[in-house]
Amino acid sequence: MKNIWTIASRDFKSYFFSPIAYIVTAGFLTIMGFMFVNILSYFINQNMRSMEMNIGKGASITEGVVSQLYGNMNVILLFLVPFITMRLFAEEKKNNTIQLLLTAPVTTTEIILGKFLSSMLLVLVMLGFTLIYPIILFLTGNPDLGPIFTSYLGTILLVGCYLAFGLLFSAMTENQIVAGALTFAFSLFLWVINWASQLVGSTWGEILNYLSIIRHYENFSRGVINSADIIFYFSIIGLGVFLTHRVLDSLRWR
């Protein structure tokens, strides 16, 4: 565990020695702030209109703001995570330091988990800044705490899938742009894979729906923690880590 933390802390600090962490975080918070203001304004206007027309109270703040906000957050992270993972192994290979890392007194698993943890820590820092949004909602309204908590949990698990395969593609090439592009393309594919479920039979349709990572987020957005969804996310993360291990093993024995 000590070796994992040493690698994670080294890589986490290196994010802030380059513009990556600042640009990604600033871009993320700018877009999220813009969305929060607009979603909240739209929710308030719709509820006021409903009250004026005497057609009920309108949507709850959980449905009208929380679900929309965190659903959009996952889309933003889909675009930004590749910038976080693309350098993890690709930069080591480009600088010819990958062999030093692989011959260091640490296991391949410790290297992978350390780099995965470093990228996850950066994402958690970014998500930490967004806690201001539920604080504002609690100060001005009465949202349900459950969906907010589960939305964050679902987002962390979802991002974990992005990160795991981002590690894989970064380990496969020394070109950071290629690694980032492959990460984005594959993550997007896992988002939209269920679109083809209408074109195939019922059995294959169920399989494609199951493989869609965003479909497993739906329960989290409603405040429901389903063990099947958690197992799915950990399985995808485990697959990405396993394949990264295979790639690094091939480098170790070249």
SS3 content of the chain, % helix, strand, coil (to 5): 80, 0, 20
Q: CB neighbours of 87 closer than 8 A, spacing ≥ 6?
A: 20, 170, 176, 179
Mean pLDDT of the chain: 85
pLDDT at 253: 63
Give residue 55's pLDDT. Answer: 57
Phi-psi group of 96: left, alpha or beta (phi > 0 → left; psi -120 to 50 → alpha; rest → beta) = left
Q: What is the mean pLDDT of residues 63-87?
A: 88
Say which residue, 199 or 82, is predicted with more confidence.
82
Does residue 62 register a pLDDT over 60? yes
Domain boundaries, the chain: 2-252
DSSP label at residue 103: T
What is each CA distance from 169 to 22, 79, 101, 174, in whole angstroms? 23, 15, 18, 9
Torsion of CA 182, 188, 194, 195, to 10 degrees: -110
In the prediction, which pLDDT does 235 show? 94
Q: How does pLDDT run across 121-176, given as a tens digit for each residue?
A: 999 999 999 999 989 888 877 788 888 999 999 999 999 999 999 999 998 888 88
| Arithmetic mean of pLDDT, 22-45 | 89
C-beta atoms surrounding 32 within 10 Å: 22
Model confidence at 34, in pLDDT bands (50, 70, 90)? very high
